[in-house]
Amino acid sequence: MSTLSDLVYAQGRSRDADVEWLHRLAGDGQLLADLAFADIVLWVPTADDSYIAVAHARPSGAATLFYRDIVGDRVRPQWRTQVHEAFQSGTIVDSASPDWFEETPTRVRAVPIVRQFPHGGSPIPIGVVTRHTNLGETRTPSRQQITFNDCADELFGMIASADFPDLAAPTAPRRGAPRASDGLIRLDVDGITTFASPNALSAFNRMGFDDELEGEALVEVTTRIIPEKRQFDESLPLVVTGRAPWRADIEARGVAVSLRTIPLKHRGQRIGAIVLCRDVTEIRHQEQELITKDATIREIHHRVKNNLQTVASLLRIQARRSHSDEAREALTQAMRRVSAIAVVHDTLSEGLAQNVNFDEVFARVMKLVAEVAASPTTHARTRSTGQFGTLPSEYATPLALALTELVTNAVEHGLAGQEGDVEIIADRTDDRLEVRVRDTGVGLPEGQVGRGLGTQIVRTLIQGELSGTIDWHTIMGSGTEVTIDIPMRYIARSSN
């Protein structure tokens, strides 16, 4: 399905500011649908003087008229005249008689979507929002339904006068945004509560307010329930008086309530406000648990990295104090391997993700190898070409350790006492990952692959853990090339 931006830009008649305005309005489509107990559809004009639906919201407290998605559809003939009149005149147009939609009587209201201009100028319509009310379920409305409908009428009037949406309002939080069904409070111009839905009253009761909200100044109620020494958002007074389209949280008695205020205006003058409220205690508790667990995991990763670096340092000290060349070499190699694991672990722990950009990991490993393997008589130039791409975290450590062994051997043995190059070439396709480690050194002695611990480690890592193959051979003329081939099907399985 095409997105709102795609559908709007495809008509070739809108600018970025228009699309941003429509996105903001579509973001409050569910609020409008719930307040109006009706389907809400956003339309934009097309090049051939028709209209196309770019967004649709269904009411959560009433039956929808559109069981099939109409986003991307052109306006129906029975609505086109009404929608076109609203767009051209810039005024709200109601249907003169009930409109029948699939044998269901409906009432349609077309509201021009008028956008403000930041530097003056006359606002002009950029689209139309239609309200489709199902008349087949007509029953005596409750006081809450009447208030909700009144609030919807106020917002539709603000849409037509370019007062809604408000671009100064913050975007909705990722979780816990209050909705009309969660709790609604209607304030007059002085901040006095004229209506409070049962859910809104229950939310304030849980915070310690045991009276009726209606007739009370919401700012005074909030002041009474907030503990004296508790810090609160500086924007809270503006929110609870209905003066700004902002958001704030109230916490009291272990209960957290999220508030969102929408000032209501008529011809640019504030006449009151809607305050949406939602008990987000459990959501905030879950978020705090996630933050705590995330901090704990990061601390564990930090300690593991430090412990690995400490082990590497102890091995380095022990190697320097060793009087046996063989023991010193063994300890130095062990130190290098632990350091390589520490580098990979540190890189993996930064993102805490299941996949890792191995090119970044290998760049750090290469720097470590160059520092450890360097000697006064050997000058090795290392370079890497190609892309490893993203690999699962469980593949990064064995591959990095294996490449560390191969590059170190190329520097210490292939280029011992001379100047030369070591090149690592990565070639990745959908089916396989091939890595070649090539040096310009002396080549394999008598063409035989060594049988030391390093070679055994490489074979175990590549063949055992990565299910790949490895091949050593001497390059024609001089030097050695090691080819690693890893099938991508195993990597794909571990990524799922």
Lowest mean pLDDT among 159-168, 217-226, 362-371, 403-412: 362-371
pLDDT for 484 equals 92
| Residues 104, 136 contacting (CB under 8 angstroms) | yes
Average pLDDT over residues 399-422: 81
- Of 334-348, 383-397, 403-417, give the lowest mean pLDDT range: 334-348
345 closest CA partner among 280, 408, 288, 394: 394
**Helix (H), strand (E), coil (C) string for the chain:** CCCHHHHHHHCCCCCHHHHHHHHHHHHCHHHHHHHHCCEEEEEEECCCCCEEEEEEECCCCCCCCCCCCCCCCECCHHHHHHHHHHHHHCCCEECCCCEEECCEEEEEEEEEEEECCCCCCCCEEEEEEEEEEEHHHCCCCCHHHHHHHHHHHHHHHHHHCCCCCCCCCCCCCCCCCCCHHHCEEEEECCCEEEEECHHHHHHHHHCCCCCCCCCCEHHHHHHHHCCCCCCCCCCHHHHHCCCCCCEEEEEECCEEEEEEEEEEEECCEEEEEEEEEEECHHHHHHHHHHHHHHHHHHHHHHHHHHHHHHHHHHHHHHHHHCCCHHHHHHHHHHHHHHHHHHHHHHHHHHHCCCEEEHHHHHHHHHHHHHHHHCECCEEEEEEEEECCCEEEHHHHHHHHHHHHHHHHHHHHHHCCCCEEEEEEEEEECCCEEEEEEEECCCCCHHHCCCCCHHHHHHHHHHHHHCCCEEEEEECCCCCEEEEEEEEHHHHHHHHC
- Where does residue 233 rank: exposed (0-12), middle (13-18), buried (19+ CB within 10 A)? middle
For 219-278, the pLDDT digits (tens) are 999 999 988 766 667 788 899 999 999 999 898 888 999 999 999 999 889 999 999 999
Burial of 55 (0-12, 13-18, 19+ CB in 10 A): buried
User: Token pair for residue 164?
Assistant: 């809604």
Which of 82-86, 248-252, 447-451 is modeled with the greatest confidence?
Answer: 82-86
- Alpha carbon of 280 to those of 228, 259, 277: distances in Å? 22, 10, 9
- What number is the average pLDDT over the span 117-125? 75
| Cα(140)–Cα(10) distance, integer angstroms | 44
Q: Residue 35 CA to chain centroid, in angstroms? A: 29
The token duo for 92 is 């709200």
What is the reported pLDDT for 263?
Answer: 96
Report the distance separating Cα 275 and Cα 47, nearest Å: 40
Instruction: Quote the pLDDT of residue 485.
Output: 92
Burial class (CB in 10 A: 0-12, 13-18, 19+), 230: exposed
* Confidence tier at 347 by pLDDT (50, 70, 90): low
Using DSSP bridges, classify how beta strands 379-386 and 419-428 pair: parallel, antiparallel or unpaired.
parallel
CA angle 438, 442, 444 (to 5 degrees): 75
- Residue whose tokens read 């408000």: 166
Residue 87 above 90 pLDDT? yes
- Phi first, then psi: what are they for 295, rounded to 5°? -65, -40
**What pLDDT was estimated at residue 392?**
81
Query: pTM for this one?
Result: 0.66
| Cβ-contact 127, 42 below 8 angstroms | yes
Picking from 299, 308, 301, the residue whose alpha carbon sits closest to that of residue 334 is 308
What is the pLDDT at residue 220?
A: 93
Q: Interhelix angle for 325-351 vs 358-373, to 10°?
A: 160
Cα 188 from Cα 41, distance rounded (Å)? 29
Q: Among 58-62, 219-223, 447-451, which is the least confidently predicted range?
A: 447-451
The closest of 92, 112, 107, 113 to 38, measured between CA atoms, is 107
Is 495 a residue whose pLDDT tops 70?
no
Long-range contacts from 193-199, C-beta under 8 angstroms, 24+ separation: 193/217, 193/218, 193/221, 194/272, 195/143, 195/144, 195/147, 197/144, 197/147, 198/144
CA distances from 84 to 126, 188, 468 (A): 12, 35, 66
> Is 70 exceeded by the pLDDT of residue 351?
no
Q: What is the pLDDT of residue 357?
A: 83
Average pLDDT for the chain: 85
User: Residue 118: its pLDDT value, please?
Assistant: 65
Residue type (1 letter), 74: R
Structure tokens at 324: 């046996």
Return d(Cα 154, Cα 141) in angstroms, integer.
18
Pairing of strands 184-188, 355-357: unpaired
Over residues 83-99, mean pLDDT: 91
What tokens does 286 get?
């879950």
Count CB-CB contacts under 10 A for residue 135.
12
